[in-house]
Amino acid sequence: MAVRTEVELAVGEPFDAPGVLGFLGARAVAGVEVADLPAQGPLRYARTVALPGGPGAVEVVAHRAHAAGPRPGWRVRATVEVADGSDVDVALDRVHRLLDLGADPAAVDTALAADPTLAPLVSRTPGIRVPGTVDAHELVLRALVGQQISVAAARTHLSRLARVAGEPYASTVPGLDRLFPSPDRVVAAVRAPSAAEELDPGRPLRLPRRALATVVATCRALADGDLVVHGGLAAVALRRDLVTRPGIGPWTAAYVAMRVLGDPDAWLEGDVALLAGARSAGVLDGDVTGAAAHRVLAGRAARWAPWRSYAAMHLWRAVAPVASPSTTTRQT
């Protein structure tokens, strides 16, 4: 029988609850995650999680605190569902990392607001967070699938893969019925076709041939222990190990470092959404284009160290605001 425990989380204010939960909700994999983010009322996000004592689930609900002032804070409660009571603290620690609750929002906001072009973004979204992950291997796969495609397309691919390869799990949380596929289950379910083979239109992961080869090879390396990815690694070492692998470039390595390690100073050079956000915010002159624009932006971003991950979140938000808070994601 599952053990359910509810805990109120310590949240450093300001806390951008709509932003971090909206980011996760926009990427929610059907059956693995659900999100309900109404404009009025509490924000809810839940997902399954593989724990040492067996599969479980976590659910986060954020309520606006009844406080005076133009920016009321947030009360955040987490409910964990575990097979083994000793996993409660493990699950809560993963929620803490997922929501970036260890951040120092005052230090981040003060540093970034010192740049006149970022100051309006910080004022608009104080306490922005860099979403983490509950599972390092999962995040590597998400990053690989998400290379050079939209968030919506990546979500579709991963939801299809989860239906085929995700381990079934009977959660008490409505909408959750499977775990995100582990590397060994991905290797068992996904083939990397040879150059001579036609791509099967019914394949569980409908990526191009080269991307499939990268996914399978990387998942095999994770399953075998040839590639080690966890939250305790140094950022430099993790990036080095990732970029030495075929099909993994600096952008993917930086994104994994940002979300797996909680690296506060990752910069995703070459990211077109960052470029668009920088232009929208007036950080970058619209006359500068192409590779030169990425170089100029990277140079400007050096001023935002050691908080470039948070600056990136602001620039992404500038061109892709949190989807209407009435967004609801359910398995279909």
Domain around 292: 272-318
pLDDT of residue 322: 63
pLDDT of residue 35: 98
221 lies in some domain:
yes
Map 150-212 to HEC letters.
CHHHHHHHHHHHHHHHCCECCCCCCCCCECCCCHHHHHHHCCCCCCCCCCCCCCCCCCCHHHH
Are 153 and 239 within one domain? yes
pLDDT of residue 108: 98
pLDDT, mean of each 10-residue run, the chain (332 residues): 93 96 97 94 96 98 76 90 96 98 98 97 97 98 94 96 97 97 98 90 93 97 98 97 96 97 96 94 88 95 98 94 42 28
The tally of domains found in the chain comes to 2
pLDDT of residue 40: 81
The reported pTM is: 0.93
Are 257 and 280 within one domain? no
pLDDT of residue 1: 74
Are 188 and 156 within one domain? yes
pLDDT of residue 107: 98
Cα dihedral 136, 140, 143, 146 sign: negative
pLDDT of residue 69: 57
pLDDT of residue 2: 85
167 lies in some domain:
yes
pLDDT of residue 68: 56
